[in-house]
Amino acid sequence: MTAYTPEPEHKFTFGLWTVGSTGRDPFGGPVRNPKTPAELVYLLGEVGAYGVNYHDNDFIPIDASPAEAEAIKRDFRKALDDTGLVVPMATTNLAFDPIFKDGAFTSNDPKVRAFAFQKAMKAIDLGVEFGAKIYVFWGGREGTETDSSKNAMEGLRRYREALNYLSEYVLDNGYDLKFALEAKPNEPRGDIYLPTTGHMLAFINTLDHPDMVGLNPEVAHEHMAGINFMHGIAQAWDAGKLWHIDLNDQYPGRYDQDLRFGSRDIKAAFYLVKFLEDVGYPGSRHFDAHAYRTEDYEGVKDFARGCMRTYLILKEKAAQFNADPEIQALLAEITAEDPTVAPFLGKYSSEKAKSLKARHFDRTAIASRGLKYERLDQLTIDILLGTR
């Protein structure tokens, strides 16, 4: 039994905005005093995280003077040096300021779009300055409440124009930086453009520099849409586009909860961790979640430790699943090849097609076979509940 101790090799990261959340929600103000970026780095160092990510403005406030910005950066740099934490990812806040009330890149107002380009370029510089290699785009307010207001095709065109422009900016500056797009179906907008990982995946192929652009899927966002997150992750991985991931949890059909990883749907979290570990996903395991509003900063540390601990427990459970003789025997039986039909499958040829069309299948006999998925699922549950 391991101690489930987070190590740098696990690549566990948190955003400044996650452990730094003061618990504000639409129905109430802050319940925790804000901490500085440097203080949050020390907190993350204490719980054993590998890295810290930030938006431009949870690092440097939007109205900070150049001297204030320099002081914040200096303290932050020292905290990184003291703790050994790294900055793998950065992003732009294109949602909070009132100027973005109708979106940023897709706003109907060209001044807002130009300001968004400017803000994103400066935020990219700020990310690169601290070593970020992944730059996330989450289109929080890129959408509508009423489709009378915006043409959906125009929305896509503007989004594409922004990503193309910013790709050129990165190339022009010789930055070693790749983009990762994050989908979400709704909240804060009534509807957000490119609502799922699948939509994003298709959109990437329409860009000028598709090789520079991948994905940052988030558990909660796909659960909000009621879909199987791991299946989307598999598709992203299959496309070579799983470059970052936002881990948290979420009950479907509710507001955006950002719960501690694995705290709601353990089974979904298990299949996800098993997938990431089985394929050898090399990127950050970024927890985009926050502590309950009931907590003080000790509770925030409990939250952060809990995210990493649950991941490591599920990683151990995945190894147990892979090594379980009964499970593996069942899987071998379920997926066994059949030499009598093997010649008909695989790559098409007209010969094959002709002989396959002539083959008789005993549908009743084939369909009468029990597949033992009940047994398999119960074995999985027994592993997860610790009784196996």
**Residues of the shown chain interacting with ligand GCO in the complex, contacts defined by CB under 6 A:** 91, 136, 138, 182, 184, 218, 246, 256, 288
The item of Mn ion, ligand GCO, none sharing an interface with residue 56, based on CB under 5 to 8 Å by kind, is: none
The item of ligand GCO, Mn ion, none sharing an interface with residue 91, based on CB under 5 to 8 Å by kind, is: ligand GCO
Does 246 engage in binding with Mn ion (CB under 5 A)? yes
Does 222 engage in binding with Mn ion (CB under 5 A)? no
Residue closer to Mn ion (CB basis): 58 or 288: 288
Residue closer to Mn ion (CB basis): 218 or 249: 218
Number of residues that bind Mn ion (CB under 5 A): 3
Tally Cβ neighbours within 10 Å of residue 21.
Answer: 23
The item of ligand GCO, Mn ion, none sharing an interface with residue 102, based on CB under 5 to 8 Å by kind, is: none
297-323 vs 325-334: helix crossing angle, rounded to 10: 60
Residue closer to ligand GCO (CB basis): 249 or 288: 288
DSSP-derived pairing of the beta strands 191-192 and 143-144? antiparallel
Residue with tokens 């793998």: 88
Whether 112 contacts 99, CB under 8 Å: yes
Phi-psi region of 218 (alpha: psi -120 to 50; beta: other; left: phi over 0): beta
Question: Which residues have a Cβ under 8 Å from the Cβ of 212 and sit 6 or more positions away?
Answer: 167, 170, 171, 178, 179
**CB of residue 91 to ligand GCO, shortest distance in Å:** 4
Residue closer to ligand GCO (CB basis): 142 or 218: 218
The item of ligand GCO, Mn ion, none sharing an interface with residue 136, based on CB under 5 to 8 Å by kind, is: ligand GCO
The stretch near Mn ion (CB under 5 A) out of 88-96, 160-168, 242-250, 308-316 is 242-250
Does 265 engage in binding with Mn ion (CB under 5 A)? no
- The HSE-up count of residue 360 (CA atoms within 13 Å, CB side) is 3
Active site residue 286: no
Residue closer to ligand GCO (CB basis): 158 or 221: 221
The item of ligand GCO, Mn ion, none sharing an interface with residue 307, based on CB under 5 to 8 Å by kind, is: none
Active site residue 58: yes
Q: DSSP readout, 339-366?
A: TTTGGGSSS--HHHHHHHHH----HHHH
Does 142 engage in binding with Mn ion (CB under 5 A)? no
Give the C-alpha distances (Å, rounded to integers) separating 160 from 138, 208, 209. Answer: 14, 9, 10
Residue closer to ligand GCO (CB basis): 132 or 136: 136
**CB of residue 126 to Mn ion, shortest distance in Å:** 19
Tally Cβ neighbours within 10 Å of residue 3.
Answer: 6
**CB of residue 215 to ligand GCO, shortest distance in Å:** 12
Q: Cα separation of 188 and 145, whole Å? A: 10
Q: Considering 10, 25, 55, 286, which one is annotated as catalytic?
A: 55
Residue closer to ligand GCO (CB basis): 182 or 222: 182
Q: Considering 56, 58, 246, 265, which one is annotated as catalytic?
A: 58
Q: Which amino acid is at 187?
A: E
Does 218 engage in binding with Mn ion (CB under 5 A)? yes
Phi/psi of residue 291, each to 5°?
Answer: -70, 155
Q: Which amino acid is at 124?
A: I
- Closest to 14 (Cα-Cα) out of 233, 276, 301: 301
End-to-end CA gap in the chain? 14
Q: Cα separation of 260 and 245, whole Å? A: 15
Strand, helix or coil at 126? helix
The item of Mn ion, ligand GCO, none sharing an interface with residue 222, based on CB under 5 to 8 Å by kind, is: none
Q: Closest residue (Cβ) to ligand GCO?
A: 138
Residue with tokens 């084939």: 366
The stretch near Mn ion (CB under 5 A) out of 38-46, 216-224, 314-322, 327-335 is 216-224
One of 288, 303, 317, 321 touching Mn ion (CB under 5 A): 288
Q: Given the rule CB under 5 A, which residues bind Mn ion?
A: 218, 246, 288
Residues noted as catalytic: 55, 58
